[in-house]
Chain A
Amino acid sequence: MTIKQLSVFLENTSGRLAEVTRILADAKINISAFSLADTADYGILRLIVDDPVRAEKMLHEQGCTVHTTDVVGIYVPHKPGGLYKALVVLAENGISIEYMYAFASREKAMVILRTENIAHTIEALQKSGIEILNPSDAYNA
């Protein structure tokens, strides 16, 4: 149930993010979710796309530093307390979150999580009845 996320190293210069999205656009790759972590000098772009294997290849060929990272996706109800219910499960199981990002749609919100031990995270969430996002649903969200 792990989702393949792409992480791209980006310098903080204007046009770099646009350039990466152009490479993906030219390859007809669709982005279903992303977040950007930034520091003073550089950023790390994290992407969920419809074809992670091909996207990684394309970005590599264009000279980007790119990694594939395993993450887990969950659905939480799009209402007060929805996220809390999932996070409390992680807290109770002693799982710390490296980073996360989320997108809300009409009824459900999609949350992408990166933790140290993805398999253990999925197991803990499943036991507590949290809905795990199917990778193919994530890629084509």
Chain B
Amino acid sequence: MIWNQYIECMDREQLQQLQNRRFASMIERIYCNVPFYRKRMQSLGIEPGDITSIDQLKLFPFTTKQDLRDNYPFGLFAVPPSEVVRIHASSGTTGKPTVVGYTRKDINMWAEMVARALTGAGAGKNDIVQNAYGYGLFTGGLGLHYGAERIGATAIPMSGGNTQRQIQMMQDLGSTILSCTPSYALYIAETMEETGIDPSTIKLKAGIFGAEPWTENMRKEIEKKLHIKAIDIYGLSEIMGPGVAVECLEQKGLHICEDHFIPEIIDPNTLEPLPYGSVGELVITCITKEALPLLRYRTRDLTRLTLDKCACGRTLVRMDKVLGRSDDMLIIRGVNVFPSQIESVLLEIAETKPHYLLIVDRVNNLDVLEIWIEVDDHFFSDEVKQLENFQKRIQERIESVLSISATIKLVEPKTIERSDGKSKRVIDKRKF
């Protein structure tokens, strides 16, 4: 099923004309309203009137997460505060999150894109969407919620966690669509197995899973265990949230909502644009967003674009499942984690930068984070209670900065392997 036949199956040439018009007007808006972009364009000698086609995209420099940090919190907003109706945020380094904003129209368009995702997964107004994405500053919860309401389905705002109750609601209310992270879907499936609940007694038919990388194998496992179709959804809060690209029942890539976002693939080292079919870093330009329209935003996600028309009938370009990252960001339980965030917590509490190692693993389908810290003379105490207190303070600080819990393990000096004098910072044992 297709939610917006007109756009999703639009002739490519017609689509580009639409993109050109929207791109030109976006450039004009950011030139007038965002000093950051105006300065950049002035230094390059670009006037809004010069821009008529998305082929001119490569004239512009990239926008990075650092630019968002440097302009924290509202510096890149293109509308006055009175027009902003919603804020979301993701955790940031040194305690400062990345703040994103939405106008009423942005929220509306976001709901439209999630509506496409849900419809693409086979959902309609008779469905009951059990939304187990976290509600709050994270975009997953409210993003899926508005999309479910948009298609006229019944939304159950479960939020994450409390697995027994999730299962009970599925049974009692007859939920037909589940939305959450793929690892949580597997966790729910296994909890059902353990408690002896036969998946054929629940009515789920499809799941919309995203916010973290997952493999085709995970997909097969979820589908087998829950007897559903597992559908991928892609997004990032800087651009919008879930719904930037959505999979159809063909499960052969995620259709990017090109009427709102222009995708490019670049070589993360040379920063040169790459042709369709090459693997590289995804760069996105917003052409309709009002509150925070980012120009050539580097997502740091590695993928590949395919232009061929999909068997589902959609003409929108498809991106592969995200293959990895071009930076050191980890996604742990759907939360974006940079090793530098953990480093700054350690620096704050140990007053020195100890050697550390992050070990990420998946135990019973839930991500777990263990942090090894080499005990050095600076914070070594010969009293157990002092060391335990040190561990506890780090754990609490990490939980408050990143909203994930970590196990802190103190290890002897030189335990953590060094390569080329630099210590290895992350071991990710999860198999994507």
Contact = CB atoms under 8 A, between A and B. Distances in A.
A17 to B, nearest CB: 12
Interface stretch (A6-14, A82-90, A131-139): A6-14
B352 interface: no
A67 B382 contact: yes
A98 B412 contact: no
Contact of B412 (A7, A9, A69, A99): A9
A65 B375 contact: yes
Contact of A98 (B383, B387, B415): B383
Mostly, the B contact residues are loop
B272 interface: no
A15 B380 CA distance: 21
Contacts of A9: 375, 380, 410, 412
Contacts of B384: 37, 39, 44
Nearest to B391: A41
A11 B376 CA distance: 13
A99 B377 CA distance: 20
Contact of A41 (B382, B410, B414): B410
| B376, B377, B382, B410: residue with the most chain A Cβ atoms closer than 10 Å | B382
A4 interface: no
A10 B412 contact: yes
A5 B382 CA distance: 10
A7 B410 CA distance: 16
Interface in B278-297: none
A65 B388 contact: no
A63 interface: yes
A46 B382 CA distance: 8
B412 A11 contact: yes
A44 B382 CA distance: 6
A119 interface: no
A64 interface: yes
Interface in B404-418: 409-415
Interface residues of B, number: 17
Contacts of A39: 384, 387-388
Task: Determine the main DSSP class of A at the interface with B.
Answer: strand
A69 B382 contact: yes
Interface string B379-409: 0111110011000000000000000000001
A116 B384 CA distance: 14
Interface in A54-70: 63-67, 69
A51 B383 CA distance: 22
A42 B412 CA distance: 9
B204 to A, nearest CB: 40
Interface string A1-35: 00001010111000010000000000000000000
Nearest to B377: A65
Interface in B348-390: 375-377, 380-384, 387-388
Given A9-B375, A39-B388, A65 B412 contact: yes
A41 B380 contact: no
Interface in B104-121: none
A45 B269 CA distance: 49
B359 to A, nearest CB: 14
Contacts of B381: 67
B295 to A, nearest CB: 49
Interface in B300-332: none
A9 B376 CA distance: 9
Interface string A91-117: 000000011000000000000001000
Contacts of B413: 63-65
Given A9-B375, A63-B414, A65-B376, A41 B383 contact: no
A60 B316 CA distance: 63
Contacts of A69: 382
A34 to B, nearest CB: 12
A45 to B, nearest CB: 9
A133 B382 CA distance: 21
A65 B381 CA distance: 10
A46 B381 CA distance: 11
Contacts of A44: 382-384, 387
B377 A67 contact: yes
Interface string B247-290: 00000000000000000000000000000000000000000000
A6 B143 CA distance: 58
Most A CB atoms within 10 A — which of B377, B388, B409, B412?
A: B412
Contacts of B375: 9, 42, 65
15 contacts: A9-B375, A11-B411, A11-B412, A39-B387, A42-B410, A44-B382, A44-B383, A63-B412, A63-B413, A65-B380, A67-B377, A67-B380, A67-B382, A114-B382, A114-B383
Interface of B: 375-377, 380-384, 387-388, 409-415
Given A63-B413, A114-B382, 19 more contacts: A5-B382, A7-B380, A7-B382, A9-B375, A9-B380, A10-B412, A37-B384, A39-B387, A41-B409, A42-B411, A44-B382, A44-B383, A44-B387, A63-B412, A65-B375, A65-B376, A65-B380, A67-B382, A114-B383
